[in-house]
Amino acid sequence: MLCVEWNQVAEMCLYLDDMSDDSRILCLCSRAFFNDRDLYYLGLKGIDISKRNLTDYGEDEDEDDEQEAFEVSSVSEVTVEEAELDSEAELMLQMGLPVQFGGSAFEKNFVPPETCVKQHKIRKKKKKKTKCSKDKSIKEVMDNITDVCEDGSESIRDGCEDSPATTGEEGALDPTSVEPSFQENWDRYWNQYGQGILWQGWVTKHEEPELSGGEPWNCPTTKEEWAEHYNETYWHYYGQFQYWAQQGWTFDEVSECKDLEEADKIPNHTVHVPPTSTESIDCLSDCVNGVKNINLDLKGMERDSKPLSVIYESHQMQNPESLEAQCPCDPDQSEPRDVGSADRDASSGHTHTSQPAVKVSRNNSSCGQTPVNGEDDDEDEPPECRQAKIKRSHELDAEENPCQVAAEVSTVLGLKHGTGQKYGGISHFKHRTLRYLEKGVKHRSHFLDMHRPVKNRHIFFSEGSEVKPLKSKTVNKKFLKGVGEASSDLLNEDLSLQKVEESPSSSDSEGLDHCSISDPSAQCRPSDNKELLENTEDPDVEGECVSHDQIITSPSETTDSGSRRLGSLLPSNAIWCSDPATGMEQESDADTNLADTRQLVSLEIPDYLQAEAEENCNDSFSKAVDNCKKKRKKPKKKVQSLPPEIASDPHLAKYWAQRYRLFSRFDEGIKLDEEGWFSVTPEKIAEHIAQRVRQCIPGAVVVDAFCGVGGNAIQFALAGMHVIAVDIDPVKLELAYNNAMVYGVADRIELIRADFMGIACDLKADVVFLSPPWGGPDYVSAETFDIKTMMSPDGFEIFQLSQQITKNIIYFVPRNTDVEQVASLAGPGGQVEIEQNFLNKKLKTMTVYFGDLIRK
Ligand SMILES: C[S@@+](CC[C@H](N)C(=O)[O-])C[C@H]1O[C@@H](n2cnc3c(N)ncnc32)[C@H](O)[C@@H]1O
């Protein structure tokens, strides 16, 4: 299985100068969706995947629909979820999250209609049991926070007064007992947005809804599905709303100046959803009744399903972000600014004589923008469905709205347009066009988490106007830090730590240079690459070539003497993740290299939560959590004993829960060091990349220039490729070898210990895969990631060297990478494919393909 879904969403053209093909870089934007919640659940529950039939979890099934797959998974695990809630709550505590955030509310609350009533009863019963102890502890926590608020600054107090969490005793855990203000807010939200959300979701699932049989909620064939859809959507949004409300977020009522985004949500149909109580929406009948009064404009529907033919054009947009800030839509700006004219002046005399651009301008009369065509009847259509207009070149300047194009691309597609230096001497792009290749991109995108910037003024799924924040960020930060500390305490207390043997070695020690890992007795394999390697002047590269029997090859070989021998090979920061049976083999300070570590964002925890959880602590909360732990009557159920290096570092605990997402065969002896935990490519994504290469260039020789612990190299090998895996760190090579053995592909991977920058020009291969360090965990907090300045080594240099090997290059980059910068790598007249990788509907990474690897 490659991925749940792959599709091309847009074609972006970036023009250097005029609109000629020679000056154009064609950038295909695609999306790949993966679903590995099953593996995550396994990690949470400590189920050994190697003992389970993978098809139970949809692994080998043909999954056409990610959501469907998830639902199946949810249904099959409902009872387990119920039974193991305590252990999950406990784990969430250990992972630095308050228990009420344990798993998304949607995932817990969603049940298919047929089991709705039953599950509701179970839930109630379960709640009775667990509510008492949990609510007590949460109440204590909240009381403590209130204390802090009362002692604190006014801003803190403001946050406390308005926060539902601080005023409601039970609201955090029990949807049926949330305080009235929350329920009222939710009802208002749902009444306002529910209709559009429901319809969007339906349209997204059914590209061309069949309406011959009537409205989906009335039609006998779709009625049930609609009810499920309603239930699922309602609970999903309810969970989201509750979560964000607890964080102090609010939403805006739609005012008269409603932008088209909102209008797009409800294209020409009116929906009336009566106020919904939590009880009523628990039942299927109510689900159906709740949407009885929808009147659908069939004409609007038909219009919406027209094929796409829209191209947005931007002109002379050197700084999209600053332009966005100056958008005429901004109420603070009295005069719309013709940004194009400024640039026009700068490039005086420039005329647009090349091929006419096709353009549609979005109309928003409330924002003072003039419709391009003067017709109003397009206004209610989503932009991707509106009629395309051919525009003469001279019209461009007067009618441009570059800020909207930038905003469109950034918010709809989730792509970042930065101002970073371009590759190959390109100063900037003067023209941009964007054409959607997929119908309903915008609608679909609403259901994806692309980490759009969330300012503390709006609830994240609303795009309304400004409101004041209700929460105090200070409180929240302290609160979360407190959680982090508490979790650390819990970990240290709960899990017996094994004594760690420290390695006496240093990173300067000799290491693997260029050996085939396939042959245990191998000496350096004479190969083209080897010969060339010997010429390098880099002392690291010239490290002595060692035979395989100098390397520890499996956990069982890690005897005392083995450890000592390993110690001479490995740097002092090596941390071995042993399997639970063998325990830890080696650990030391682990400080080095972390600055260059790429940290994969926790796969379930919101980014900002992670960041905040690492800030200063709140002692009150720590105490409360300790109390909670002491008062719990039930004996604790350990999910699985953690390796000591995980147990001793709460930051790693979240990665442990995700171990099967990194390596589904983790329990068979996979080993990682600390950096490995952070930086390995999740298996589903690595598998997908490898399969793409296999399809384009079967049997290719692939250079994995920064192989790390082998996440990608293994998948390339599994896909039938020969892999030359390079890493500067000998520890990584040891681990990569071990992991390749686990997957049975060690004989297809050549390991080279070297600085890729030093040996690149000497390597020969069909494909180069680049997954360099992303410069530390902070990459994700940057608005836009600059591959030149934020990567180490310099991302441009890496690419330039790779081009000397082959044109078929894959660049694995952060999700917030400046797309114009990566596009510039293709050069004028060139092409590139930028693939966004979504794990469980969350944008995680981007994979950029060059050469023959682009899917046309
Ligand atoms: C992000 S990790 C690669 C992860 C890998 N794709 C995986 O799935 O396991 C980056 C790796 O690059 C290595 N590295 C850093 N600088 C290097 C260089 N100049 N040459 C070769 N490897 C380097 C680091 O040791 C690290 O293991």
Helix (H) or strand (E) holding 25: strand 24-34
Query: What secondary structure letter does DSSP report for 615?
Result: S
Atom of ligand 1 nearest to the CA of 686: 8
**Amino acid sitting at position 520:** P
Rounded-to-5 percentages of helix, strand, coil across the chain: 45, 10, 45
Angle at 95 between CA 91 and CA 100, to 5 degrees: 65
In sequence order, which residues have a C-beta less than 8 Å from that of residue 834 and are 6 or more positions away? 27, 28, 29, 30, 415, 819, 822, 823, 846, 847, 848
Facing residues of 435 across strands? 11, 311
Pocket of ligand 1 contains residue 680 by CB under 6 Å? yes
Distance separating alpha carbons of residues 233 and 594, to the nearest angstrom: 41
Q: What is the DSSP string of 100-151?
A: GGSS-HHHHH---GGGHHHHHHHHHHHHHHHHHHHHHHHHHHHHHHHHHHHH
679 CB within 6 A, ligand 1: yes
Q: Which residues contact 344 (CB under 8 A, 6 or more apart)?
A: 316, 350, 397
- Other C-beta atoms closer than 10 Å to the C-beta of 375 total 12
* Separation of alpha carbons 607 and 34, rounded Å: 19
Quote the pLDDT of residue 217. Answer: 81
CA of 672 to the centre of ligand 1 (A): 13
Beta strands in 444-539 (DSSP E): 514-516
Q: Ligand 1, residue 757: give the atom nearest the CA.
A: 19
Residue listed under structure tokens 């988490």: 449
Atom of ligand 1 nearest to the CA of 711: 8
pLDDT of residue 314: 41
804: phi then psi, degrees, rounded to nearest 5: -75, -20
β partners of residue 6:
32
DSSP state, residue 461: T
Indicate whether residue 771 lines ligand 1 (CB < 6 A).
Answer: yes
Tell me which residue has its CA closest to atom 17 in ligand 1. 728
Q: Is residue 232 classed as helix, strand or coil in its secondary structure?
A: helix
Q: What is the DSSP letter of 760?
A: G
CA–CA dist 77, 40 (Å, integer): 13
Contact 405, 399 (CB under 8 A): no
The two structure tokens encoding residue 465: 């106007």
Helix (H, G, I), strand (E, B) or coil at 815: coil
| Dist. CA 285–CA 699, nearest whole Å | 56
Confidence at residue 657, expressed as pLDDT on a 0 to 100 scale: 84
Q: What is the 3-state secondary structure (H, E, C) of 372-418?
A: CCCCCCCCCCCHHHCCCEEECHHHHHHHCCHHHHHHHHHHHHCCECC
pLDDT score recorded for residue 476: 34
Q: CB of 755 closer than 6 A to ligand 1?
A: yes
Q: Nearest to residue 478, comparing CAs of 723, 750, 148, 186?
A: 148
Collapse the DSSP code of 246 into the 3-class scheme (helix H, G, I; strand E, B; otherwise coil) and give the result.
helix
Angle made by CA atoms 476, 477, 479, in degrees to the nearest 5 = 65
Q: What is the DSSP string of 316-333?
A: S-S-HHHHHHT-TT-TT-
Under 8 Å between Cβ of 98 and 141: yes
Q: Does any ligand 1 atom lie closer than 6 A to the CB of residue 732?
A: yes
Supply the pLDDT for residue 755: 98
* Structural contact between residues 679 and 596, judged by C-beta atoms closer than 8 angstroms: no
Distances in Å between the Cα of 835 and the Cα atoms of 13, 176, 561, 692 are: 16, 42, 47, 12
CB of 681 shorter than 6 A to ligand 1: yes
Q: Write the CA distances from 804 to 238, 596, 694, 797, integer angstroms.
A: 53, 25, 22, 11
Query: Cis peptide leading into 328, omega within 30 of 0?
Result: no
Cβ atoms within 10 Å, residue 216: 23
Mutate which of 507, 675, 679, 837 for ligand 1? The one with the most ligand atoms within 8 Å of its CB, which is 679
Nearest atom in ligand 1 to 772's CA: 10
Q: In this structure, how many other beta carbons lie within 10 angstroms of the beta carbon of residue 56? A: 14
Question: What separation in angstroms does the CA of 286 have from each of 107, 113, 130, 273?
Answer: 20, 11, 28, 11
Q: Strand, coil or helix: what is 77?
A: coil
Residue 461 Cβ contacting ligand 1 at under 6 Å: no
Task: Confirm or reject: Cβ of 734 under 6 Å from ligand 1.
Answer: no
Q: What angle do CA 184, 187, 191 make, to 5 degrees?
A: 145
Atom of ligand 1 nearest to the CA of 676: 9
- State if residue 571 touches ligand 1 by the CB under 6 angstroms criterion: no
Predicted pLDDT at 633: 55
The angle formed by the CA atoms of residues 222, 228 and 234, to the nearest 5 degrees, is 130
Output the six-digit token pair for 100: 């009420």
**Best of 575, 706, 732, 799 for a ligand 1 pocket test (most atoms within 8 Å of beta carbon):** 706
- Which amino acid is present at 325? A
Q: What pLDDT sits at residue 60?
A: 29
Give pLDDT tens digits for 658-717.
899 999 999 999 999 988 988 999 999 999 999 999 999 999 999 999 999 999 999 999
Residue with tokens 């007249």: 829
Residue entry with tokens 């979790």: 487
**Pocket lining: 663 vs ligand 1, CB cutoff 6 Å:** no
Q: Are the CB atoms for 339 and 402 separated by under 8 Å?
A: yes
689 CA distance to ligand 1 middle (Å): 17
Nearest atom (ligand 1) to Cα of 597: 1
Which string of DSSP letters, residue by residue, matches 327-374? -TT-TT-SS---HHHHHHHHTTT----SSPEEE-PPP-GGGTPPPSSS
Top mutation candidate among 507, 684, 727, 780 for ligand 1, by most atoms within 8 Å of CB: 727
Distance CA 561, CA 583 (A): 16
Series of mean pLDDT values for 10-residue runs along the chain (856 residues): 79 86 91 87 59 33 29 28 38 42 35 44 56 50 39 30 33 42 80 82 70 72 84 80 68 47 36 34 33 35 35 39 33 32 33 30 31 31 34 31 58 85 89 86 78 49 37 32 36 31 30 33 37 37 30 30 27 31 33 44 36 38 53 52 71 82 95 90 97 96 98 98 98 98 98 98 97 83 91 96 98 95 96 95 95 93
* Nearest ligand 1 atom to alpha carbon 679: 1
Residues 847/812, Cβ–Cβ less than 8 Å: yes
CB atoms under 10 Å from CB of 118, counted, come to: 11
Ligand 1 mean position, distance from CA 720 (Å): 22
Distance 538 CA to ligand 1 centre (A): 17
713's tokens: 């190299």
| φ, ψ (nearest 5 deg) of residue 95 | -85, 5
- Of 467, 453, 543, 476, which Cα lies nearest the Cα of 507? 543
Cα torsion through 661, 663, 666, 671, rounded to 10: -120
Atom of ligand 1 at shortest distance to CA of 727?
A: 22
The CB of 599 under 6 Å from ligand 1? The reply is no
Does the CB atom of residue 726 touch ligand 1 within 6 A? yes
**Ligand 1 atom 19 nearest Cα:** 755
Dihedral angle computed from the Cα positions of residues 53, 55, 57 and 61, in that order, rounded to the nearest 10 degrees: 170
Token representation of residue 187:
């009802």
